[in-house]
Structure 1
């Protein structure tokens, strides 16, 4: 099993050059989008070293990040709902990473990312089944690693480095042989298979210390103790007082640790064999340089002991342990149906159902049942949708609704129901629907443009009105935002009855969002409301604009069609200041994402991890049609 470790080292430089030149623009944009959300980074075995490297760089970027194993993630489950998760896996198929991924889906974190060095893996398949995932896969040219992670690890480190690399970084990989280590030959002469290696590190040396520990133990080359330079001073030094004869030191040093490393080593007995693995890089490339050097140390130590680290031999029980299918051992007992539980958690906004009292559980179970029964027992003559984030995903914003959504809408229209679209957009929505919905149904499609300030049927070519009535308040808001000195490039636009603000660089959205809200609220405009969609802020005058305005139009057409008068409303931003919170304040309202805290309206009843258009299609799959319109009977 495995490949010769030394042959794996021959490929490292090519692997680095390949990895550093991969297009990671989308990956970078996604991962750096929101600093305010904590991040768990999950990996097993050698990949855990890459997780530690990523955690350090995210922390330097300002994100609360933590590297964990799959089992550690399971025990962190109460923290996942308000977090992002990044999975790092070379193959995307081992039992542990798949168990952790499924655990994450069921706990519905904010977002799940995955990074894999193999295409079409089981991990990729899982990612395609949910809406909150973003999977990034590469086809590493070096192929599968041997027993120890080598080229896959270089790839992960290089891609992670590239995500955070400032323009001033110009590091180039220097392939290092044993002559590059000061005193490596003498060090190897002083150690034996019975030595315990004490690895000292700090900062960017930490992921390398983790990887050395992993490789020394996995290849059965040595006992290992790792510690940062100062924690070592809190008692761990006593190891040498009792076991110095069979102990050695490996000090990992970047320019930032040079002085503390020198001072620490100078205080220790000089006869302890010591190897310093040093880098001259003072930026995040230091970890890659140190990692490569550590590989050559591992290779040399393996030769000394007659063990090839790339194929040390695996006993039968080792393979059984690696492939142990243990997920059934961690199934939780619950008094709630899975969808019921996640639906209630979305409402009460706590990480675990156990945080609710018995009385609260009883209340919410009853509210859940009553809401579903109300939907089941009501006939709807019209279904009203939000557009962005509900009918049209953010990735399809410029191409419009996809084929599956189009088919779903046409099926509803073919049954004689009315469809309403309540959107913050204008002409682009009309153009999209006009091109995709057959003309014979256009009179039954009602569009509320600019958050329903302008409402009419799809066959009304005069809408949306391009000029609209002059609104002095909104003109003042527009000038206020346009003339404010933002540090980021923003795109304010004065539309009929609303001001829309977008940003060029979406990773800075949260910062700009806060400034816009504070700026507008500081003026105390009477009747001005700030709403958020999935990609922008809309500022409206409530005197003329409200998404609920569309209901009366839809009811009128439904009555004309001799259908039921009730309207089912579906949107994605049901929690204020989301731009659907008014639309979803009706008793017949479903969300594909955020919900209000009120028990009698705006529930999200889709399975964990499903959002956006996939959630909309899920709802539509449970519509049942009758002579009065349609009912929705959800499981």
Structure 2
């Protein structure tokens, strides 16, 4: 584990170049999802600095709260499910981050993202078992860090800065950041030498007060972490104004033991200089100027902290990369988070039922118990499951995006496992149908995964049920871009809308208008603009729904219930099972899952009678679809759920 710290610093240039050039499309996609809500960044040790960088980038770019937590805090806190949670871990193997990952995944937060530097680690295996989590794997070229986080920390912070800049400031060239930061990765560079000379006076005193501004806070936090972990000395942190609120008194009483290090950028130079000019003359003061703004200042302060750590170690006879770990320290590191009692089979069943009820109600079991509302929902859940297991289904209708394919991979055909289950339904006597907001692309992808012999037996409802045809039918759907008379004026108004110009892609079909953001846009923003245009035009023939990636406007009378009616006519007297992911209004599966036997793989309606999500805690999307379909067995000329499948 131990490496000479100098050898770690020698790889910084390589790491920064790699992080500035490697592909970040998946990371950008995850950032766009996170940007829809507040975010909690979780890390420990060196990764806690990366968590602070992430929270700072999130808050400054989105205007939404960015909160930092340790794994212990993350496991204990209870935030609303829509808050994004990101876990950062270079190695992905420490017990704390893995316990937090499991807890947050089982809590079914809207987004759980894991940024890790090692494939095949315990935390990546957790993500493999829960595919709705965003696994962001970035093994840095320098390999595993030594005792202190160095190259992995620079890599993660650079990647995150790039991703947020690409999403929120795409016109700002990253090359400008590179030109500012690259010289700071070289231990022999002139700017780094100037920093070293100015910092030399600090090492005559055991305590260092680190003063910083908003853009250099991350560097200060990392410096305190490294000084403490490698026992290099005491580091006290304060921003320039908080220092004035009592913290300056330390210098009055312990000035002989204390020096001051100041990170100074162009943005805070005035307040920094006025503050430092008031420090008593006998106190050593090192002024380190950090060039650039925004991500450049953040990264510059981090690199300053990495270099200062090395200089402090050299001055005090400690190699920060291999300071020596005591036996009790190893034992402390491997302690587990507060444990739970042994879980029985009954506990597992109760946990699954409770998860379904909490999804339905949006409240915890404890609060439902306090309000004496739990028995009502337990009875509703039991009645739904009893009915579900008693029915023989003559038809199965599934949504596509988010149900058969993950929305993150929606331009790829469905996976082999889900394809096998779909083919098994076709081979039974039940009718398989797909109800989707998409058009011909779904026909193309389904033909790739299903044998041609199946095509005539699969019914596809395109454009949210506007057009229905067999998968074998080359004439369905009608892909014309001429909208029906009911939507014509609205389509024209949307096309010339200044609010939508350049920010959303509009696709017209005969009975549907689809709007997809071209760049990041808050989910409710596109929804609100569409409704404003509808009100302005006075269109009364439009129905608006939304999926995970678009807003769909359909003509009155267009609904996925059209697909239900179509299938019902072909299986006279039989029951229909419907499965989708957006069952909460105004999700585009609301009508589909409002059928008597509607199952959700994600969002549910508030109706206690139908549209339940019966997945195991911590599962969502395609994995749940596979579970549902795998539990169906041929019976009485149709399909029936295996007894006990949901208990």
Which TM-score band applies after superposition, normalised by the shorter structure? over 0.9
**Shift of residue 508, structure 1, vs aligned partner:** 6.0
Equivalence for 1:226 = 237
Q: Which moved more, 1:588-597 or 1:600-609?
A: 600-609
Residues 54-453 of structure 1 correspond to what in structure 2 (within 5 A)?
A: 54-62=54-62, 63-76=64-77, 78-165=78-165, 166-167=172-173, 169=177, 170-174=179-183, 175-176=186-187, 177-188=192-203, 190-191=204-205, 195-328=206-339, 337-350=350-363, 352-356=364-368, 357-453=370-466
- Alpha carbons of structure 1 residues 187 and 443: separation in structure 2 relative to 1, 3 Å: closer
Residues 567-606 of structure 1 correspond to what in structure 2 (within 5 A)?
A: 567-606=576-615
**Shift of residue 529, structure 1, vs aligned partner:** 0.6
Equivalent residue of 1:171, what SS? helix
Distance 1:258 1:388 in 2: 51
Equivalent residue of 1:432, what SS? helix
Distance 1:510 1:634 in 2: 34
Is 1:526 aligned with 2:526? no
Equivalent residue of 2:587, what SS? coil
Q: Which of 604, 618, 622 is the equivalent residue of 1:609?
A: 618
- Alpha carbons of structure 1 residues 426 and 297: separation in structure 2 relative to 1, 3 Å: closer
Distance 1:535 1:281 in 2: 36
- Alpha carbons of structure 1 residues 417 and 483: separation in structure 2 relative to 1, 3 Å: same
- Alpha carbons of structure 1 residues 512 and 468: separation in structure 2 relative to 1, 3 Å: closer
Equivalent residue of 2:373, what SS? helix
- Alpha carbons of structure 1 residues 467 and 301: separation in structure 2 relative to 1, 3 Å: closer
Contact 2:196-2:311 at 8 Å conserved across structures: no
Equivalent residue of 1:381, what SS? strand
Contact 1:450-1:498 at 8 Å conserved across structures: yes
Distance 2:391 2:304 in 1: 69
Q: Deviations over 1:522-564 (max 9, x none)?
A: 4342242101123222211223x121122232223224xxxx6
Q: Which moved more, 1:514-523 or 1:596-605?
A: 514-523
Equivalence for 1:39 = 39
User: CA RMSD of the aligned region, Å?
Assistant: 2.5
**Shift of residue 16, structure 1, vs aligned partner:** 1.4
Distance 2:72 2:515 in 1: 43
Equivalence for 1:23 = 23
Distance 1:332 1:273 in 2: 58
Q: Which moved more, 1:102-111 or 1:27-36?
A: 27-36
- Alpha carbons of structure 1 residues 332 and 268: separation in structure 2 relative to 1, 3 Å: farther
Q: Which moved more, 1:597-606 or 1:54-63?
A: 54-63
Equivalence for 1:488 = 502
- Alpha carbons of structure 1 residues 507 and 131: separation in structure 2 relative to 1, 3 Å: farther
Q: Which of 468, 484, 488 is the equivalent residue of 1:475?
A: 488
**Shift of residue 435, structure 1, vs aligned partner:** 4.8
Distance 2:571 2:453 in 1: 16
**Shift of residue 80, structure 1, vs aligned partner:** 4.9
**Shift of residue 494, structure 1, vs aligned partner:** 2.4
**Shift of residue 387, structure 1, vs aligned partner:** 1.8
Equivalence for 1:539 = 553
Q: Deviations over 1:64-113 (max 9, x none)?
A: 2112211121222x215111111211111111111111111011111111
Distance 2:235 2:422 in 1: 62
Contact 1:280-1:286 at 8 Å conserved across structures: yes
Equivalence for 2:169 = none
Contact 1:45-1:214 at 8 Å conserved across structures: yes
Equivalent residue of 1:567, what SS? strand
Task: Report the number of matched residues.
Answer: 624
Q: Mark the runs of 5 or more structure 2 residues left unpaired by the alignment.
A: 166-171
- Alpha carbons of structure 1 residues 223 and 434: separation in structure 2 relative to 1, 3 Å: closer
Give TM-score scaled by structure 1 length: 0.92
- Alpha carbons of structure 1 residues 21 and 470: separation in structure 2 relative to 1, 3 Å: closer
Equivalent residue of 1:359, what SS? coil
- Alpha carbons of structure 1 residues 292 and 533: separation in structure 2 relative to 1, 3 Å: closer
Distance 2:126 2:483 in 1: 51
Equivalent residue of 1:582, what SS? helix
Q: Which moved more, 1:62-71 or 1:104-113?
A: 62-71
- Alpha carbons of structure 1 residues 380 and 10: separation in structure 2 relative to 1, 3 Å: same
Distance 1:101 1:577 in 2: 30
Distance 2:3 2:451 in 1: 60
**Shift of residue 7, structure 1, vs aligned partner:** 2.1
**Shift of residue 34, structure 1, vs aligned partner:** 5.2
Equivalent residue of 1:101, what SS? helix
Equivalence for 1:558 = 571
**Shift of residue 408, structure 1, vs aligned partner:** 0.5
Q: Deviations over 1:551-597 (max 9, x none)?
A: 232223224xxxx6111110111111111111111120001111111
Equivalent residue of 1:141, what SS? coil
Distance 1:86 1:110 in 2: 11
Q: Mark the runs of 5 or more structure 1 residues left unpaired by the alignment.
A: none
Equivalence for 1:454 = 467
Distance 2:392 2:249 in 1: 76
Q: Which moved more, 1:376-385 or 1:396-405?
A: 396-405
Equivalent residue of 1:608, what SS? coil
Equivalent residue of 2:413, what SS? coil
Distance 2:271 2:393 in 1: 72
Equivalent residue of 1:139, what SS? coil
Q: Which moved more, 1:148-157 or 1:419-428?
A: 419-428
